[in-house]
Structures are given as C-alpha cells and as structure tokens.
Amino acid sequence: MANNGTIQVGVIGAGRIGKIHAENLATRIPVVAAAAVADIDLSAAQELAARLHIPRACSDYRAILADPDIQAVAICSSTDTHARIIVEAAQAGKHIFCEKPIDHDLAKIDAALAAVKQAGVKLQIGFNRRFDPNFRKVREMVAEGKIGQPHILRITSRDPAPPPASYVKVSGGIFLDMTIHDFDMARYLIGDVREVYTAGAVLVDPEIGAAGDIDTAIITLTFENGAIGTIDNSRKAVYGYDQRVEVFGSGGMVTALNRTPDTHLYSNPEGVHSAKPLYFFLERYSESFLAEMQEFIQSIQHDTTPPVTGEDGRAPVLIGMAAKKSYLEKRPVSIREISH
C-alpha cells in the first residue's frame, strides 16, 4: 500500500474485458490507483493508458510484477495466459484478480492455486454475475429460506450473436467459455453439483460445428443437496441477450428477469411492445464488473477472503468438463469422474 493508503493495481491485458476493469480501477474506486497497463500489443496498452491517464504502459507484464509499489494485478489477458501469470504474480507477492476461466487444464489450475496458497496472497476469479443485484437478491432469498427447500433451478443463458469461428477454436468450447458462468451461477444459487447430463447441437452456425464445438445446449444438473436444475444455452437469440434465472422450492419461487434499457410499453394495433434486453455482457453486467472489483479491493484492505475464491474458479471447470463428456458419451456424468 502506498503511504497515502492508495492501493496500486496493474492491469494485464487491454482487450474487451481489460478495458472495463481498467476504467473501473482508474475512475470509480477512490482508494485505488491504476498504476500500469501491460499488453503484448503495446499500442493497445498505450491507448488504454492514455485514455484513462494511467501513468505507465508496457508490453511485458513482468514489468508490473517487478514493481514493488504495485500491490495487486487484474489479469485480463487471454485464457491460455492466466495460470502462468497467476503463478508468477503470486511469487512476486501480488494480490490477484483473474478473469474466468483460470485455465482449461486441471493440473495448471492446481499449480496456480498452490502458488497462491504458498504465497499467502488473495485470489479472486471474475465470476461477475454473482455481483449482479438481481441474481444476488435471488441468492439471498434462497439462502434465507424464502422459497422453502429449493427443488428446481432454471437458468436461461443465450447470447445475442455467435462469436467468430476463430474465437471458438481457442475458446475451450461452449461449456468452458460460455456455460461456465451458468455453472458458477448454479453453485452460487443452490450449491455443489453432483451430476450432469447434456444434450447439444449445432443449430446456429455450421462454422461453429466445423470448429469442433456446438452452439446450442441443455444441461440437466443434479445437486449434492438433491435439487435438480437445467441450464439452456444458445449462441444466438434474435431478440437479444437472454439472461434469466428461476428457483422453485417447497415454499414458493423467485425469478430474475431480463433487464431492459427502459421499461416503456408501447401498445398499437399490432400488439404490446417493449424494449429488447440490454444488448450483451458489457451493457447487462456493467454494475457487476464494478462491484466485483470493489469487493476484491475491500478484501485486500480488510484482509478478508475474496468473495469468489480459487476453489470457486476450479469447480465450474470440473462441471464443464463433465458436461462435455456427457455430451460426447451421451450419458449422465458424475463430477467425481472428472476430479478423480
């Protein structure tokens, strides 16, 4: 911590999500100073730093790790870099916020978590949807017993438009790239998952199939506490980003609906019309990106456990692997088959 109590944070990766976190760190969290941005594309780092008046831009993240004045890093680079940078950042004594997923490989995840434990630094994983006020309310109501014993979870999670095939090829597949947020949401709302059963198809874009992935899926979940649930995913919902959850239980039901830019209803002879959902994750989850970073910083300030731990980062990767195995083998797969 600097003498004036400011926590200096370095941002690694100046792409889509790095821009969001850099802006929140630089302009919306008073106790933080965004001290540096690193990107292998130096011009991307320079552009972002200049826009947000961040004093330093570099192409090698190790310059950030070597700076003794920087206490924490936000790892926003491509997924294949996360595990390695976590290990190096932990060894350099930096607290770590890392985007999801930690990695696609369990051995690499375990090595990263071991390095964090050994160094005694904080690690928070970027499952931002937990910080969305609507989903948080659902979780609180479930935890308070307002719906009695949870019986059924439904998560609808559909993107407005598919990513390019080039992205799909290195994404780790739909379960580790997209559904991973829903697996985390399922754990957040109900608890640990025991078994999954997946149906999947290529219905949106044959290019996604050619890249070895699917674009449409339904995953049935069985939880350790006996509740059951479904997640349904599509890479393309023509009416926009469809993000809803519902928990039904012995004493009632709680639902979080889509958010729209405004709540007007226009009625005419053709029908009753309202605004489409907020377009995509940058718009829909902007509050949650800020809230997750604020809570990460608070965990450093108060020396508390971050709200989304390394274990919380590992668990949905296991579920994603089980979901893929279930799809390929056309049978229910226990999470224990993956972890042992």
Ligand X SMILES: NC(=O)c1ccc[n+]([C@@H]2O[C@H](COP(=O)([O-])OP(=O)(O)OC[C@H]3O[C@@H](n4cnc5c(N)ncnc54)[C@H](O)[C@@H]3O)[C@@H](O)[C@H]2O)c1
Site for ligand X, rule CB under 6 A: 12-18, 38-41, 44, 61, 76-79, 81, 99-100, 126, 128, 281
Residue 334 C-beta: closest distance to ligand X, Å: 26
Q: Quick one: 60 or 329, whose CB is closer to ligand X? A: 60
The residue with its CB nearest to ligand X is: 15
Q: How many residues does the chain have?
A: 340
Residue 10 C-beta: closest distance to ligand X, Å: 11
Q: Quick one: 46 or 223, whose CB is closer to ligand X? A: 46
Residue 283 C-beta: closest distance to ligand X, Å: 12
Residue 292 C-beta: closest distance to ligand X, Å: 9
Q: Which of 309, 280, 322, 76 is nearest to 175 (CA)?
A: 322
Residue 38 C-beta: closest distance to ligand X, Å: 5
Helix-then-strand count for the chain, H and E: 14, 15
**Gap between the Cα atoms of 331 and 83, Å rounded:** 31
Q: Quick one: 15 or 307, whose CB is closer to ligand X? A: 15
327 alpha-carbon distance from chain centroid: 23
- Residues 79, 317 contacting (CB under 8 angstroms): no
**Gap between the Cα atoms of 289 and 292, Å rounded:** 5
- Residues 204, 234 contacting (CB under 8 angstroms): yes
Which residue intervals of the chain are DSSP H helices? 16-27, 42-52, 62-65, 79-91, 106-119, 133-143, 165-170, 174-177, 179-189, 206-210, 281-284, 286-301, 310-329, 335-339
- Residues 248, 152 contacting (CB under 8 angstroms): yes
- Quote the crossing angle between the two packed helices 133-143 and 179-189, to the nearest 10°: 30
Residue 285 C-beta: closest distance to ligand X, Å: 6
Could you tell me which residues come within 8 angstroms of residue 270 by beta carbon, excluding any fewer than 6 positions away?
none
Q: Quick one: 40 or 199, whose CB is closer to ligand X? A: 40
Residue 65 C-beta: closest distance to ligand X, Å: 11
Q: Quick one: 77 or 233, whose CB is closer to ligand X? A: 77
**Gap between the Cα atoms of 209 and 338, Å rounded:** 25
**Neighbour tally for 2: CB within 10 Å:** 12
Q: Quick one: 103 or 195, whose CB is closer to ligand X? A: 103
- Residues 127, 234 contacting (CB under 8 angstroms): no
Q: Quick one: 223 or 296, whose CB is closer to ligand X? A: 296
Q: Quick one: 181 or 223, whose CB is closer to ligand X? A: 181
Residue 40 C-beta: closest distance to ligand X, Å: 4
